Amino acid sequence: MTDTLRYDGRVAIVTGAGGGLGRAHALMLASRGARVLVNDLGSSAAGAGTDTGPAAKVVEEIRAAGGEAVANTDSVIDGSKLVEAALDHFGQIDIIVNNAGFLRDVGFHKMTEQDWSDLYDVHLLGAFRIVHAAWPRLRDQSYGRIINTSSAAGIYGNFGQVNYGTFKLALHGFSQALAVEGRARNIHVNSIAPAADSRLTRTVMTPEQLAPMRAELVSPLVGWLTHETCAETGSLFEVGGGWVSKLRWQRTRGERIGDGKDFAPEQVRDAWPAIVDFEGAEAPADFAAGMAPFQKIMEGA
Ligand code: NAI
């Protein structure tokens, strides 16, 4: 490590920062000079109730360590209020870490529409509303660093988490598309899928399993991705326990079937081994690369 990455002069909004991962992100950014809006509604792990205590406590911790922070207890669903609060207190916004969330795990056959829409509201709508309210400013100042918190449950699919997984992967779709629109204005948007000890994971893992997975071992990735010198954008990372990895889409070489005018399900069946063979697979890096096979067909190649 040669120099220290600092955030002096930067203002960060960290949602759900009253505990767990958000608290660790807020403490890390503040310890390196960022002024932080510590947002947390103070709800339970299933999203019930409110409590002003958690956000206030983290602000105390930051101030005790010599940092600058202010508490905010609005729900992320009222995203524009968070943005207004950051502007009122600090006059600017540079970094947004969308981290607030809760679980409502239940088998799909028992899932209610409320279980679905509550999770949509906190994870996806909340992130949308905050970023949407801040976006004009980020564009005008030609600077922004945004993190959206995804999950392995969304990337891979997990039992009992159809609601959660759907919106967690959608958050990466949000990151990817925002990254395209933000690139020319130096607004970088990335997703992280963390694994860490928190009240959300304590219900399914033992203290012994979780001991090496402190939330603080996720925050350094947030630190790098939200730093002004980091060029990464539109990407998805898995991170936990000190391990960091980048994910990408992979596509098999694919098969052209039939004569271009018509083809039958039997031909798809017969071509199946080639269609699903990842030998020689490619990793399209952007929309144009993704569309390249269709482009070739349209050009008659
Ligand atoms: P946590 O429960 O400790 O933290 C979430 C915080 O969000 C809580 O303090 C809660 O009060 C707050 N919150 C909930 N609804 C809110 C709302 N409407 N407005 C403002 N704040 C609200 O849990 P953890 O583990 O720190 O989770 C942080 C994020 O990381 C979540 O989005 C979670 O889904 C995600 N995640 C965590 C994983 C883990 O291994 N801990 C795994 C994958 C994703």
- What's the gap in Å between 253 CA and the centre of ligand 1? 39
Catalytic status, residue 7: no
95-98, strands of its sheet edge to edge: 68-72, 35-39, 11-14, 95-98, 144-149, 187-194, 236-240, 243-247
The residues with which 236 forms a beta bridge, in sequence order, are 191, 247
- What's the gap in Å between 227 CA and the centre of ligand 1? 22
Q: Which atom of ligand 1 is nearest to the CA of 213?
A: 40
The region of weakest confidence among 110-114, 202-206, 273-277 is 202-206
Answer yes or no: is the C-beta of 154 below 6 A from any ligand 1 atom: no
Instruction: pLDDT band for 301, please (50, 70, 90 cuts).
Output: confident
Answer yes or no: is the C-beta of 19 below 6 A from any ligand 1 atom: yes
pLDDT on residue 182? 98
Domains within the chain, CATH numbers bracketed = 11-247 (3.40.50.720), 248-301 (1.10.287.4290)
Answer yes or no: is the C-beta of 39 below 6 A from any ligand 1 atom: yes
Q: Which atom of ligand 1 is nearest to the CA of 122?
A: 18
**pLDDT above 80 (res 1):** no
Residue nearest atom 3 of ligand 1, based on CA coordinates: 20
pTM (2 d.p.): 0.98
**pLDDT above 90 (res 283):** yes
**pLDDT above 90 (res 2):** no
Answer yes or no: is the C-beta of 194 below 6 A from any ligand 1 atom: yes
**pLDDT tens-digit readout, 189-210:** 999 999 999 999 998 999 999 9
Across the chain, mean pLDDT equals 97
Instruction: pLDDT band for 51, please (50, 70, 90 cuts).
Output: very high
Residue nearest atom 15 of ligand 1, based on CA coordinates: 101
Which ipTM did the prediction report?
A: 0.99
